[in-house]
A and B are shown apart, each in its own frame.
Chain A
Amino acid sequence: MSTDVILFLGLAAVAIGAALGMLFSRNAVYSALFLILNFATVAVFYLLLGAPFIAMAQVTVYAGAIMVLFLFVIMLLGAEELRKRGKLGWQQPLALLLGFVLVAETAYLVFVRGDLVSQIVPAAADYGTPKDIGILLFDNYMLPFQVVAVLLLVAMIGAIVLTKDDRKIERKTSEEKA
């Protein structure tokens, strides 16, 4: 067995364990932490597949920025503890069934139609390097890149407009005048 396979099997165990931990933990903060662990393992998978840029994006964007935001929201809302019994009725058997279908499909692809899977050609070593992606972003995709910047600005303005409490400010200024 090559080191790649050993590494993969070890990581896979961690990834699945972390995903299960996230699902079954009754404390939302633990769930979020498990999810970070899962994201980090998936990032290593990307590295194994020769996609360093996506791996780093996974760590900084998902495991970093988004999960920190999640944790903040969970703690600010005080929603750490889940109630004992959730209101999941018919969803539970359906989820089990769909999960089983997914596992069966994967098993079929891997064990019966293995020829399809092995056809995938590994990407060239210098494919999708951060430098290439950077050049693409500022060359071919200059305009979309800038539009995204404007879009984020608009979203920020929108969030502030919709959450700023104007009445409080008005009351304060009228009190000051009085």
Chain B
Amino acid sequence: MIEFNPLDLLNTLPILVLVSWACALLMVNVFVPRQGKGLMVLLTALGLAVTLILSIFQAGTQTEAFKGMLAIDDFTVYMNVFILASSLVALAISHDYMQRMGLARGEYYVLMLFSVAGMMLMASAADLIVVFLALELLSIPLYVLSAFARPQVESEEAGLKYFLLGAFASGFLVYGIALVYGATGQTNLIQIFAAAEAGVETPAFLLVGAGLILVGLGFKVAAAPFHMWTPDVYQGAPTTVTAFMAVGAKAGGFAALLRVFIAAFPAISVDLAPVLAAVAAATLVIGNVVAVAQSNIKRLFAYSSISHAGFILMAFVAFGQDGLFEDTIASVLFYLVTFAIASFGSWAIVIMLERKEGRGLDLQDYAGLGRKYPALALAMAVFMFSFTGVPPTLGFAAKLFVFRVVIEGGYYWLAIVGVVTSVVSAYYYLRLIIIMYMQDGDPQVRGETWLNLATAATAVATVLLFFFSTPLFEWAAEAGFLWF
């Protein structure tokens, strides 16, 4: 008969609180007048903060919940804290922009909360069925948020494109899950691991299934050759949504990739490594080379985010080698945090310069920023240096850790591809700095307390945390899985 373990509810309390809070906000929103959506922002922030505190209290828990569907471990707690903190920053840079663009509607915040719940679920999913459902819970609100600025054609196009291609990618994921189930008879990650170690009758199905899962999740993290949607969606979606999506969807996607591949597929890692290496190399080359030709700042950052997905994937390649999976997890988590900090900072500056009807988004609109707003230009320069990987910024440490894992894994050619594409990336990141400082112009900036605060905080963090990068890395290395 049906057994129910009340401890499951306690172990999943953060997600439960967040989802209930989102449902409650949906009702509250009806009674909040259109001009007073600031209240919704406060309530959303409160919900995220409460969930964040509950997540921190889970530190040290090592358990399964709901019959092995979820794993609550240090990795979950680390990802949850990261995702919730990111969402708070995304919220801080949202409010002013949404009002300015005439998009201030309460559903924005509710959908954001649901998407965050999906990301948190992805970080703790220990069963392929939950991985799929969490991915949908993460994605569907993002599809809607991308089209939030309708009837603007670009936003509608972004939403529709993201939705259609996302549904297509979900198809790949489900097919992959079905093949893995067919080969092993299991959907639970740790049981798949056991079945694969014991040897399966049809290893081809397991391999193809793992490949298709990589396609489905690779789409979400914008890895080449599944990146086609990224520039159009990033450009068309409201900029605050883009900032949220660039970090959140990547975090969720990589969390699931880490857990699924490291927990379930070590037995076939030898066969998967060349595929992962090829995808990482392709992502690096395409992201960095095409970014050189961009003149729109949102498209430029879209390609830049593709290239960073490539760097994170690089750390993945050697996941199956003895004793390397801990370094893999740690360097991926470290890189994600680094990318998130610099990414939110630079998107906040983009939001400050953006005006209605998509004006203020050209690279040339940043000319003269260094003279007129020196602090802002300095912050942007810090973020660009971090993206390039120049010391003393966090980006340098992140790239160092990733390269170390790649070289320990013995993939020298991949490390060379990474270094060369880093040099290519320096061209377009430095070009923005040159435009800001060397060219004359009259940029119009909309400053607002929360935007300024977010920019300043991320810029300071990018530089300051660099000096604590080793302890931070060791901290990330402790975010292990329940089963190891």
Chain A contacts of B1 at CB under 8 A?
135
Q: How far, in whole Å, are A144 and B137 apart by their CA atoms in the complex?
A: 11
A170 to chain B minimum Cβ distance, whole angstroms, is 8
* A11-46 interface (Cβ within 8 A of B): none
Q: Say which size band chain B's interface belongs to.
A: 35 or more
Stretch at the interface among B105-113, B292-300, B337-345: B105-113
The answer on a CB contact under 8 Å between B137 and A147 is yes
The answer on a CB contact under 8 Å between A151 and B136 is yes
Stretch at the interface among A66-74, A105-113, A153-161: A153-161
User: Would you call B3 an interface residue if the criterion is a C-beta within 8 Å of the partner chain's C-beta atoms?
Assistant: yes
Chain A contacts of B117 at CB under 8 A?
150
Chain A contacts of B114 at CB under 8 A?
150, 154, 157
The answer on a CB contact under 8 Å between B140 and A148 is no
Chain A contacts of B136 at CB under 8 A?
151
The answer on a CB contact under 8 Å between A154 and B141 is yes
Chain B contacts of A91 at CB under 8 A?
none
Measured CB to CB, the nearest residue on chain B to A155 is B140
Number of interface residues of A (CB under 8 A): 20
The answer on a CB contact under 8 Å between A143 and B2 is no
The answer on a CB contact under 8 Å between B133 and A147 is yes
The answer on a CB contact under 8 Å between B137 and A151 is yes
Interface centre among A147, A157, A162 (most CB of B within 10 A): A147
With known contacts A143-B70, A151-B133, A154-B140, A161–B105 Cβ distance under 8 A? yes
User: Would you call B454 an interface residue if the criterion is a C-beta within 8 Å of the partner chain's C-beta atoms?
Assistant: no
Chain A 110-144, CB-CB to B under 8 Å as 1, else 0, gives 00000000000000000000000001001111111
Q: How far, in whole Å, are A147 and B137 apart by their CA atoms in the complex?
A: 8
Chain A contacts of B65 at CB under 8 A?
143
The answer on a CB contact under 8 Å between B129 and A162 is no
The answer on a CB contact under 8 Å between A162 and B150 is yes
Chain B contacts of A166 at CB under 8 A?
105
With known contacts A154-B114, A157-B111, A144–B2 Cβ distance under 8 A? no
With known contacts A154-B141, A162-B150, A139–B3 Cβ distance under 8 A? yes
The answer on a CB contact under 8 Å between B111 and A158 is yes
Chain B contacts of A142 at CB under 8 A?
4, 66-67, 69
The answer on a CB contact under 8 Å between A143 and B150 is no
A67 to chain B minimum Cβ distance, whole angstroms, is 21
Partner of B140, one of A135, A138, A144, A151: A151
A105 to chain B minimum Cβ distance, whole angstroms, is 19
The answer on a CB contact under 8 Å between A147 and B134 is yes
Chain A contacts of B105 at CB under 8 A?
161, 166
A7 to chain B minimum Cβ distance, whole angstroms, is 31
With known contacts A142-B66, A144-B130, A157-B26, A135–B121 Cβ distance under 8 A? no
Instruction: Spell out B's residues near A (CB within 8 Å).
Output: 1-4, 12, 19, 23, 26, 65-67, 69-70, 105, 107, 110-111, 114, 117, 121, 127, 129-130, 133-134, 136-137, 140-141, 143-144, 147-148, 150, 159
Beyond A140-B67, A153-B23, 13 additional contacts (C-beta under 8 Å) are: A135-B1, A139-B2, A139-B67, A142-B66, A143-B130, A144-B129, A147-B130, A147-B134, A154-B111, A154-B140, A158-B140, A158-B143, A158-B144
In the assembled complex, 27 residue pairs joining A and B whose CB atoms fall closer than 8 Å, in A order, are A135-B2, A139-B67, A140-B67, A142-B66, A143-B69, A143-B70, A144-B127, A144-B130, A147-B130, A147-B133, A147-B134, A148-B133, A150-B19, A150-B117, A151-B133, A151-B136, A151-B137, A151-B140, A154-B137, A157-B107, A157-B114, A158-B140, A158-B141, A158-B143, A161-B111, A161-B144, A161-B148
